[in-house]
Structure 1
Amino acid sequence: MKFGISYSTPYYGVDPEKMTNFAKLAEECGFESLYVPEHIVLHPGATVGAFELPPALPYADPLDCLTFMAAATERILLGTAVLLLPYHHPVTLAKRLATIDVLSKGRMRLLTVGLGSLPREAQAMGVDFARRGRRAEEAIRVLRALWAGGEQGADHDGEFFSFEAVCSFPKPFGVTTLPVHVGGSSQAAARRAGRLGDGFFPGGALTAEERAVQWELARSSAAEAGRDPDTLEYTRFGSLDMPVERVQELAGQGVTRVVVSTAATEPDDQRRELSDFAQRFGLTPGGSH
């Protein structure tokens, strides 16, 4: 099992010293990865599930935050949970992600993308909310085409994006493409993860039975698309106080990574909670036990 930790700027704030100290602490404690969430804009009355999001929450740009924290660390992998892919132009995004990967020497490896659930956010970005799923799927294909394309350039002619013989350099660090994990709590997200993703990272308040159905749907969708379902990574959220038995249970369900977060905002409390977790699970510098 691998263990990641989330740094939520709406909760912890965007103080640069606190951000870098948290990243260093996570790496020191042996966490494999560091995740940052995204909202581009909010509005009064915006809700996610049953929770209302105060419009002044400081959702900082996740890729800028990860670049900043990468400069203060050496090993920890960088992830998003989730990046709202329909609201990013994939040509620009391919460049940004490859640049972060190069500057971090190959650590931008846990990009998780989602669709977003706020229609007014889509409207503000000029995106048709009803077509954001198709737009995201095409964006994944564009990203991979640009990363893999050589000096002769890459072509794409799709519903949302078109280009001919364009070259995007630098390439990701030492690889021909970056992993793209798919987040979301719907069956459509599970199918998308199987058909196009390198992993599935479901959220939402689902029952154990619903989660089992979705994971099987992701795997069967991969097989139907001619892909090996055993190569899919399966990431789930957990809690810092979770017992070893719970992690063993998740492993039995096929989970390969657990991402946790701390409610503590003071550095001493964060150190104690992260250190206790690392000790309980015997974390190593590779972020596994």
Structure 2
Amino acid sequence: MKFGISYSTPHHGLDPGKLVAFARTAEGCGFESLYVPEHVVLYPGAAIGPFELPPTLPYGDPLDLLTFVAAHTDRILLGTGVLLLPYHHPVTLAKRLATIDVLSRGRMRLLTVGLGALPGEARAMGVDFAARGRRADEAIDVLRLLWSGGADGVSHAGEFFDVDRLCSYPKPHGAATLPIHVGGSSRAAARRAGLRGDGFYPGGRLRPEEVAELWELARATAAGAGRDPDALEYTRFGAIDMPDGRVEELAAQGVTRLVVSPSTTEPGELYAFAERFRLRG
């Protein structure tokens, strides 16, 4: 089992010294990865289900945050949980992600993408909320096309993006393309992971039986598309204070990575978790 940790700027703030100390502590404790979330913009009344988001929450740009983290760490992998893919143009996004991967020497490897659940956010970005799933699917294809393309350029004519003989450099560090994991709580997200993803990261507000159903759907979709379902990574949320035996239980369900969310940025929680699960061993 691999263990990631999340840093939420709405919860922990955007103090650069605090972020650096947190990232270095997580790396020193043996955490595999550090994840950050995204909202491009908020507005009064924005809500996800019954949970209203205060419009003053300081969501930092996730790729800027990860670049900053990469500059102050050596080994920890960089992840998004999740990057709202419909609100990014794949041509510029391919460049930004490859640049981070090169500068971090191959650590931008846990990009996890989702659709976003706020209609007002989609309107602000000029995106049709109802079409954001199709837009994300096409963006994944264009990202991989740009990363893998050579000096002759690549072309794509689709519903949302039209590129003609484009060359995108630099390439990812020592790799033909970057992994793209898919996050979400819907059947559509599970199918997207099976068809296009390198992994699946289901949402946190699901009952255990719902999560299991989505994971099986992702695997079945992959198999139906001629892909190897065993090649899909399976990431789940985990509690920093999870009970004994929970890790083994999740591993038996096929989970390959747990991402925990500490309540504070103080190192005590991270040290205790690392000792408990022998992360530094």
Give the TM-score normalised by structure 1: 0.96
Structure 1 vs Structure 2: percent identity of aligned residues?
Answer: 72
What number of residue pairs does the alignment pair up? 281
Aligned to 1:237: 237
CA distance in 1, matches of 2:240, 2:117: 27
Aligned to 1:77: 77
Letter in 1 for 2:197: G
CA distance in 2, matches of 1:49, 1:71: 37
Aligned to 1:271: 267
CA deviation profile, 1:181-211 (whole Å, cap 9, x unmatched): 0000001100000000000001132111111
Aligned to 1:139: 139
Letter in 2 for 1:85: L
3-state DSSP of counterpart to 1:183: strand
Aligned to 1:117: 117
Larger displacement relative to structure 2 (32-41 or 240-249):
240-249
Aligned to 1:55: 55
- The Cα RMSD (Å) is 0.8
CA contact (8 A) 2:200 2:218 kept: yes
Aligned to 2:172: 172
Letter in 1 for 2:7: Y
Aligned to 1:228: 228
CA distance in 1, matches of 2:20, 2:125: 30
CA distance in 2, matches of 1:244, 1:91: 45
Go from structure 1 to structure 2 and tell me whether the alpha carbon gap of 1:63 and 1:112 turns closer, same or farther (over 3 Å shift): same
3-state DSSP of counterpart to 1:152: coil
CA distance in 2, matches of 1:74, 1:243: 31
CA contact (8 A) 2:204 2:237 kept: no
Aligned to 1:95: 95
Letter in 1 for 2:64: D
CA contact (8 A) 1:29 1:274 kept: yes
CA contact (8 A) 2:180 2:197 kept: yes
3-state DSSP of counterpart to 2:143: helix
CA distance in 2, matches of 1:34, 1:49: 26
CA contact (8 A) 2:5 2:26 kept: yes
Shift of 1:50: 2.0
CA contact (8 A) 1:244 1:281 kept: no
Aligned to 1:27: 27
CA distance in 1, matches of 2:48, 2:27: 30
Aligned to 1:252: 252
CA distance in 2, matches of 1:210, 1:243: 21
3-state DSSP of counterpart to 1:251: helix
Unmatched runs of 5 consecutive residues or more in structure 1: none
3-state DSSP of counterpart to 2:236: strand
CA distance in 2, matches of 1:69, 1:20: 6
Aligned to 1:41: 41
1:4 aligns with 2:31: no
Letter in 2 for 1:167: C
Letter in 2 for 1:144: R
Aligned to 2:191: 191
CA distance in 2, matches of 1:179, 1:257: 15
Larger displacement relative to structure 2 (129-138 or 47-56):
47-56
CA distance in 2, matches of 1:190, 1:163: 28
Which segments of structure 1 move beyond 3 Å, counting only runs of 4 or more? none
Unmatched runs of 5 consecutive residues or more in structure 2: none
